[in-house]
Amino acid sequence: MSALPRRRIYLLRHAQVSYFDAQGKPLDPRQVPLTPTGRQQAEAAGQLLAPVRFDLAVCSGLPRTEETARIVLGAADLALQAEPRLQEVRGGRLREVPAELREQTIAYAYDGAELPGARFIGGETWSDFALRVGQAWDEWLARPDWNDLLLVAHDAVNRVILSRISGSGLAGLKAFEQDPACINIIEADHPASPVPRHLIRSVNLAAYDPLRVDQRLTVMEQVWRSFNPATQH
């Protein structure tokens, strides 16, 4: 048994944003800010994580992850570093998806991610996406200068990391729901340990609504409803 300390990664998804306007028109996902509800969600996560003294804080560099991370950190005197390889999977143009395939393509976007050549909504291939996320993850974990890491990323990014640790690969993406501002707690043996391991301590913990009794839709089903407001009635 290694005497080296086991470390913790607090892996968060950014808080709520809106990817579509009231008419269902897509907004630029690279620029969307948190909604007022999203800021409240991030504040709840920050309150839950207040006892943790982070040594390192990382986000994807997109506004929604940076804003979430800064709210969670609060008054902590800690620089926030950006890791572009942890930006969200890039989708194609929704208007290029045939109308009769849009619900399947959007609402069930993670199904079949493990199939050869599979892409996220006609955009980035899942295999390329998993490669860039995995490389970034491995490099940050290899750093010896932290014991408690705050990492604020995105829905699909977090799914890739959790699926990788669990050994389920891309086929496991659809099983790891990641609600806005959710917290995942991952423990990692020190990289100098004889046999470094990763352990999942907690998944998709939403401080603002732990039970989510009234939420039965998946993240992507909610995205589909926002894209197509008629499904809300």
CA dihedral 88, 164, 196, 203 (to 10 degrees): 80
Mean pLDDT, range 195-220, rounded to an integer: 94
3-state secondary structure 53-76: CCCEEEECCCHHHHHHHHHHHCCC
Question: For 148-180, how does the pLDDT look when each residue is reduced to its tens digit (9 = 90+)?
Answer: 999 999 999 999 999 999 999 999 999 999 999
* 190, 22 contact by CB (below 8 A): no
Instruction: Look at the alpha carbons of 184, 190, 191, 197 in this order and tell me if their dihedral is positive or negative.
Output: negative
Using CA atoms, how far apart are residues 207 and 10, in angstroms rounded to an integer?
A: 13
Residue with the two structure tokens 């990664």? 9
187 near 201, Cβ under 8 Å?
yes
Q: Is the dihedral of CA 160, 162, 168, 172 positive or negative?
A: negative
148-153 sheet: strands from edge to edge: 80-82, 56-59, 148-153, 7-13, 183-188, 198-205
Show the DSSP H helices in the chain as ranges: 36-48, 63-73, 102-107, 126-142, 155-166, 219-227
Collapsing DSSP states into helix, strand and coil, what is residue 151?
strand
Indicate the pTM of the whole model: 0.94
2-9 mean pLDDT = 82
Number of Cβ within 10 Å of residue 196's Cβ equals: 15
Chain segment 58-113, per-residue pLDDT in tens: 999 999 999 999 999 999 999 999 999 999 999 998 888 999 999 999 999 999 99
Given pLDDT bands bounded at 50, 70 and 90, which one contains residue 184? very high
Residue where the block lists tokens 């609060």: 74
Look at residue 100 in the predicted model and tell me its pLDDT. 94
> Quick check: 44 pLDDT over 50?
yes
- Cα(39)–Cα(230) distance, integer angstroms: 27
